[in-house]
Amino acid sequence: MAHTATAHRRRQPVRRAALPAFMLVGALLAAALVAPPAAHAATAGDVTGITQAGNTFTVATTSAARLRIVLVRADIVRLWLAPDGSFTEPTAGEITIRTDFGAVPATVTDTGTQYKIRTAALVLRVTKAPLTIAAYRPDDATVIWRETQPLAWADGQTTQRLARGADEQFYGTGLRLGEWALRDKTVPVAVDNRWRENTNASPAPFYMSTNGYGVLRNSWSPGTYGFTSPVTTTHRENRFDAYYFVATSLKGVLGAYTDVTGKPFLSPMWGLELGNADCFNASNPTYQGDHNRAGHQVTTDVVGYAQEARGKDMPSGWFLPNDGYGCGYTNLPQAVAGAAANGFKTGLWTSTGLTSIAWEVGTAGTRAVKTDVAWIGGGYRPAFLGVQQAVNGIENNSDARRFVWTVDGWAGTQRNAVVWTGDTYGTWDDMRWTVPAVAGAGLSGLNYATGDVDGIFGGSPQTYVRDLQWKAFTPAFMTMSGWGATNPSAGYQDKQPWRYAEPYLSINRRYLQLKMRLMPYHYTMTRNASVTGVPATRAMVLEYPDDPIARGNATSGQFMAGDAFLVAPVVSDTGVRDGIYLPAGTWTDYWTGRVYQGPATLNGYQAPLDTLPLFVKGGAIVPMWPQMNFTGQKPVSMLTYDLYPRGTSSFTLYEDDGITRQYQGGAFATQQVTMTAPQAGTGRVTVDVGASTGSYTGKPASRAYEFTTRLTAAPTSVTVAGAGLTRLTTQAAYDAATTGWFYGGGVLRIKAGTRGAGFAVVIDGAALPPAGGIPGTGPLPKQGWRLLAADSQETAAENGAAANAFDGNIGTIWHTAWSAGAAPLPHEISIDLGASYQVDGLRYLPRQDGGVNGRIGGYEVYLSNSATDWGQPVATGTFADNGSEKTVAFTPRTARYLRVRALTEAGGRGPWTSAAELTLTGTAAPAATVS
């Protein structure tokens, strides 16, 4: 085959449907970066006076412009500028649903050059000439934010500029596809439906700062936010309307923001289970897909898939059986009933509207809606109102909770819908930027954010497993079948987890079963989000705002799943995970029980395909259900608390019926568990289990309790409610008993019996596992690396520059020249490491972009302290022809320079060489000695 440019590009599948022309034009216009204000931009001029009416101050100026300063709450201020003096409000209370918190005590003073408006939470300085605003802490000395220039408007857009602190960091802007720490980035706050890295799938005109403030632009218009110096935010409208939220923490800012725009909705419990979208009515003549899909001819065929899932012991909770353009449905009530008989709820997907939703929900029994781009793809207000229509359709026709998915959200969407990343691909690179996108969405209050498991297009068993693993630790996730690679055989494009062969089938089951066992934990985290605005999936900065590493993108590839779990997804074809940052405290490897002491960075973590790097925070108390495949499959006859004792900690379990909206009227229960333990060593661990307070339909009067914890030796005694428990000597005896304790395999298991009131568990002589340090060897830092030479690189037809081989981005590649003729093998690259290191290994990651050309086969590795004298190779060999990361180990040696020679192409496809990343492992070189 001729070697052409297209050989290096993955095929671009056809989208599920084209946007209507008017929507496409609007989306493209909105996606364009808003231009900077013109030189002739207008401003308000100078202040001529200020008047007060209740919580509102109106500032008059030397121009026609007027500014309203509204004290929404002591910690929330609205700035509302009308350039012509006429105030307009296009959002009409749709984005903001609560702005009246009562009278706000405030004082106003005139210093001559400024007006100062003081509340309990801030001091607002209004400089008179020219009109600029700044917010200070109550000490009137500490700046929160400050305009560097007056508000300006020109060419139909309005811009604000704020001073940027020396180390100030920024977060937000919605479901941004990529890194979540935004300093020095310019971010489009606009709908474009491209769904690629550094675009915004569900933009939100909101951001927050480590200075302790957040800003919501109360607008439906597209904009651009430049987190440069100064911070420059522009929206395409000839008005300015913004809410400013002041707090002492990022969590506090999110709380205030969601007080105004609405808290995240509380999903039905089944909504936390895996969903599956596919067309099961392919015989419909209007269907735009394959009409001959086996097992997908009529809507009731979904029942066969539900039965197959249960036959394979696979947890999953709901279906969208009409996903696909023109799919429609037949015999919907029977399909809903058949799925329900197998423990599945049913929802519907729509690309045209919701004209039949009253019947679909009220009579047929559907309980979810996915709004698609062909209907709401224009974004902004129409998309927002479409989601609200879906919410109303569910809640006005049933006692069920809202469960709606949207691909085009905005500020306020968190109260109504799950947002997802759109039409992505089952590739390692898409997975790489999806992890920070999902974690970062929570920094805009979006509690439910996700992407299709393994994307909608392409995919492989390996990428599927890795994607499912980490998404099982987020609140909502779904598969999208019918568009990807053939699976499991010709005629199918199935991405349901039970449709894969071994070992993938068992790995999928393992993580979905763990999600179900952890359901009371995950559900409590989503309830907390619905009360506080703090998401369940948390960027590290939310939990560790004062940690300089956690504040930035060095941790964007990991996240906290609630209070307890640190999740570090593997997003390349490798069995080794590097760069796992463990903040201060102790962290227990969930699989091995090994305890690490933070802060530290863990490199070389062994993560074969069945292992998701997962760590539990010291002090965690994790509630767990018995194993089941769907909510309600069996009664929760025993509740397990998995304990990680360190110091004093607590957890409050939340429970309700999991289905209806009765919780809104107070039908729920909570149970507080407090644990005290030594920080290290051996001592007493006490677990105080409070009574379950409150009631809801189906609440048990009592239940059995189990406790598990890792110890290095058996305790001396265990008591429950003051009475000693019997020690059992075998696992079988423990399994058969209703009370007692058993120690084996480093784990203490305690059955406390059935309890209907509060009680205490006391473990004496509890030997906590010691917290160990992090091994010193690991990937060497690449910040100082510099390209010395490469015999060939392709820079004309693609960015195949040699420096891409060590830029830390697996989405870029070094590729030798091919567009104007290819040089023969061998090829080589030489790199200056910038300093000397004790090097003990090399890792070679082949290209991860879906291409295969240039994979290195035969190789030689050289290390030297001279860039001209390489000597003999330290390693030689042949790599297999696949995309997995390759590891080469050798005797440690001190070196500053690396040379890699590619002798052959692994697949014999041509005279090319390519690489996504070259990594060296080792330690700092030993200091030179003076004799």
**Exposed / middle / buried, residue 425 (Cβ in 10 Å: 0-12, 13-18, 19+):** buried
Name the region of 466 (left: φ>0; alpha: ψ -120 to 50; beta: rest).
Answer: alpha
Question: What CA–CA distance (Å, rounded) separates 665 from 667?
Answer: 6
Q: Is the dihedral of CA 509, 510, 513, 518 positive or negative?
A: negative
Every domain of the chain and the residues it spans? 47-249, 269-538, 635-772, 778-924
What pLDDT, in 10s, does the model give residues 4-44? 222 322 233 333 433 333 333 334 433 344 344 455 799 99
Q: Which residues sit opposite 493 in a β-bridge?
A: 487
User: How wide is the angle at C-alpha 717 spanned by C-alphas 711 and 719, nearest 5°?
Assistant: 110
Read off the pLDDT of each residue in 378-396 and give the average, rounded to a whole number.
Answer: 97
Looking at residue 924, its pLDDT comes to 80
Looking at residue 6, its pLDDT comes to 28
Strands 157-162, 231-235: pairing is antiparallel
Q: Do residues 227 and 187 lie in contact, with contact meaning Cβ atoms separated by under 8 Å?
A: yes
Question: What CA–CA distance (Å, rounded) separates 128 from 115?
Answer: 8
User: In the predicted model, is pLDDT for residue 180 greater than 60?
Assistant: yes
Looking at residue 774, its pLDDT comes to 80
Return the half-sphere exposure (C-beta side, CA atoms, 13 A cut-off) of residue 766: 28
Looking at residue 923, its pLDDT comes to 86
Looking at residue 928, its pLDDT comes to 46
Looking at residue 926, its pLDDT comes to 64
Q: Does domain 47-249 have CATH number 2.60.40.1760?
A: yes
User: In the predicted model, is pLDDT for residue 386 greater than 80?
Assistant: yes
**Exposed / middle / buried, residue 92 (Cβ in 10 Å: 0-12, 13-18, 19+):** exposed
Sequence length of the chain is 931
DSSP 354-409: -TTHHHIIIII----EEE-HHHHTT-HHHHHHHHHHHHHHHHTSSSBPP-EEESS-
What pLDDT, in 10s, does the model give residues 310-366? 999 999 999 999 988 899 999 999 999 999 999 999 999 999 999 999 999 999 999
Among 113-122, 623-632, 888-897, whose mean pLDDT is lowest? Answer: 888-897
Looking at residue 848, its pLDDT comes to 87
**The domain 269-538 belongs to what CATH superfamily?**
Glycosidases (3.20.20.80)
Averaged confidence pLDDT in the chain: 93
The 3-class secondary structure across 766-787, one letter per residue, is EECCCEECCCCCEECCCCCCEE
Question: What CA–CA distance (Å, rounded) separates 560 from 291?
Answer: 43
Among 225-229, 417-421, 490-494, whose mean pLDDT is lowest? Answer: 490-494
What pLDDT, in 10s, does the model give residues 858-908? 999 999 999 999 999 999 999 999 888 999 988 889 999 999 999 999 999
Looking at residue 777, its pLDDT comes to 74
Strands 814-815, 827-845: pairing is unpaired
- Counting residues of the chain whose pLDDT is more than 90, the rounded percentage is 89
Which fold is adopted by the domain 778-924? Jelly Rolls (2.60.120)
What pLDDT, in 10s, does the model give residues 61-77? 999 999 999 999 999 99
Question: What CA–CA distance (Å, rounded) separates 71 from 119?
Answer: 9
Q: Which residues sit opposite 492 in a β-bridge?
A: none
Domains 47-249 and 635-772 in one fold: yes
**The domain 635-772 belongs to what CATH superfamily?**
Golgi alpha-mannosidase II (2.60.40.1180)
User: In the predicted model, is pLDDT for residue 93 greater than 60?
Assistant: yes
Q: Do residues 550 and 583 lie in contact, with contact meaning Cβ atoms separated by under 8 Å?
A: yes
- In order of 541, 561, 622, 650, the CA distances from 589 in angstroms are 21, 15, 15, 21
Q: Where is pLDDT greater, at 364 or 924?
A: 364
Helix (H, G, I), strand (E, B) or coil at 340: helix
Looking at residue 10, its pLDDT comes to 29
Looking at residue 28, its pLDDT comes to 40
Among 444-458, 642-656, 767-781, whose mean pLDDT is lowest? Answer: 767-781
Helix (H, G, I), strand (E, B) or coil at 256: helix
Question: What CA–CA distance (Å, rounded) separates 199 from 201?
Answer: 7
Q: What are phi and psi of 442, to 5 degrees?
A: -65, -25
Read off the pLDDT of each residue in 259-266 and give the average, rounded to a whole number.
Answer: 98
Question: What CA–CA distance (Å, rounded) separates 280 from 336?
Answer: 12
What pLDDT, in 10s, does the model give residues 98-111? 999 999 999 999 99
DSSP-derived letter for residue 493 is B
Q: Do residues 926 and 839 lie in contact, with contact meaning Cβ atoms separated by under 8 Å?
A: no
Q: Which residues contact 843 (CB under 8 A, 6 or more apart)?
A: 574, 576, 779, 885, 886, 887, 888, 917, 918, 919, 920, 921
DSSP-derived letter for residue 322 is B
Q: What is the dihedral of CA 798, 799, 800, 803, to 10 degrees?
A: 170
